[in-house]
Structure 1
Amino acid sequence: MKSLLKITCLVALFAATAGTLQAQKFGYVNSAAILAEMPEVKQADANLEALQKQLQKKGQSMLEQLQQDYGALQQKVQSGDLSPKQQEEEAQKLQKREQEIAAFEQDMRKQVSDKREELLGPIYEKVNQAIKDVAEENGFQFIFDQNVLLYAEDSQNVNDLVKAKLAN
């Protein structure tokens, strides 16, 4: 009798678990494709590219000037216009400028990264909010990104719903 009671309890537990799993609704989106189609992302990318080119141009100019100054120093050294102490001082100045250029390059990467976050952060939040709204409005418990799925049925693709939400 006890074993029959245990089996009945287990069957009831499995039935309850199966019912819960069937009640859950899953969907997926291709967030990269959605972002690629958004005009805001294209504009942000153009702004980032312009900033990056501007900073690279400045860095290239600094590097070219350093190379010219290094060449001029070599000529002065070869012609004997500088004493050993002056050579050392000039070499230290050039090393300091090399360090400044390296610091500028690091700062340039940081500026581009910060600008990327400033421009794209609100867009990402907008897309995430649209996905959340679609999930709540359509009874989805989970919406996954397509890039992490090994298999998905096309009927569970909610890209069009998210795009429609973003268009509003």
Structure 2
Amino acid sequence: MKIFKLAFVAILLIAATATATAQKFGYVNSAEILAELPAMKAAESNLEGLQKQLQKKGQAMVQTFQTDYQALQAQAQEGTMSPKQQQEAAAKLQVREEEIGTFEQTMMADLQKKRAELLEPIYNEINQAIEDVAKENGYQFIFDQQVLLYGEESQDVSAMVKAKLGL
């Protein structure tokens, strides 16, 4: 009976070892793949254009604010404004300053939203290509090279993923 149990345990160990060695691992350099994709270059260009446009608008708002602030200071020093007029002008400038702050926050949120909108389909396309390569070549796991501490060159499937993406 003990021999039977030992034999059974030995068979289980052999089966587990065979299963573990049958697993196939690979890795990709996703940063390199992203850099080579024309869609990624177009998305980056689009985002850069939008960012410059929004920054230009923000800079114009700040420039106008600074000009008006300096004009208010000059008028106050010359004594051409009453204290009440100075308070009203200062209050208007404070409202504009808050508008500039709100614009900057909105600008950042808009850029993040646009980035997500442009990059999501690109990431989905890459993930689908990786999944297709894994299924076609029997890989159970494919890791990103950036988180990999060690990997044999022969397990780099980046070229297959690039081919799947038409690069």
- The TM-score range, normalised by the shorter chain, is over 0.9
> Using the alignment, how far apart are the partners of 1:100 and 1:115 within structure 2?
22
Deviations 1:109-159 (Å, cap 9, x if unpaired)? 111111111111111110110000001111111100001110000010101
> Using the alignment, how far apart are the partners of 1:87 and 1:9 within structure 2?
94
> Using the alignment, how far apart are the partners of 1:21 and 1:135 within structure 2?
17
Deviation, 1:164, is 0.7
**Equivalent in the alignment of 1:165:** 164
Matches within 5 A, 1:54-73: 54-73=53-72
Deviations 1:12-33 (Å, cap 9, x if unpaired)? 3322221111111111000010
**Equivalent in the alignment of 2:10:** 11
User: Does residue 144 of structure 1 match 2:143?
Assistant: yes
> Using the alignment, how far apart are the partners of 1:95 and 1:7 within structure 2?
84
Partner amino acid, structure 1, of 2:30: S
Structure 2 gap segments, 5+ residues each: none
More displaced stretch, 78-87 vs 51-60: 78-87
Deviation, 1:6, is 4.8
Deviation, 1:10, is 3.4
Count of residues in Structure 1 that have an aligned counterpart in Structure 2: 167
Describe the SS at the equivalent of 1:82.
Answer: coil
Deviation, 1:79, is 1.1
**Equivalent in the alignment of 1:52:** 51
> Using the alignment, how far apart are the partners of 1:140 and 1:51 within structure 2?
40
Identity of aligned residues (%): 60
**Equivalent in the alignment of 1:103:** 102
> Using the alignment, how far apart are the partners of 1:100 and 1:28 within structure 2?
48
Structure 1 gap segments, 5+ residues each: none
**Equivalent in the alignment of 2:154:** 155
More displaced stretch, 100-109 vs 84-93: 84-93
Describe the SS at the equivalent of 1:78.
Answer: helix
Deviation, 1:84, is 1.7
**Equivalent in the alignment of 1:76:** 75
TM-score (norm 1): 0.94
Partner amino acid, structure 1, of 2:26: G
More displaced stretch, 76-85 vs 126-135: 76-85
**Equivalent in the alignment of 2:28:** 29
More displaced stretch, 28-37 vs 14-23: 14-23
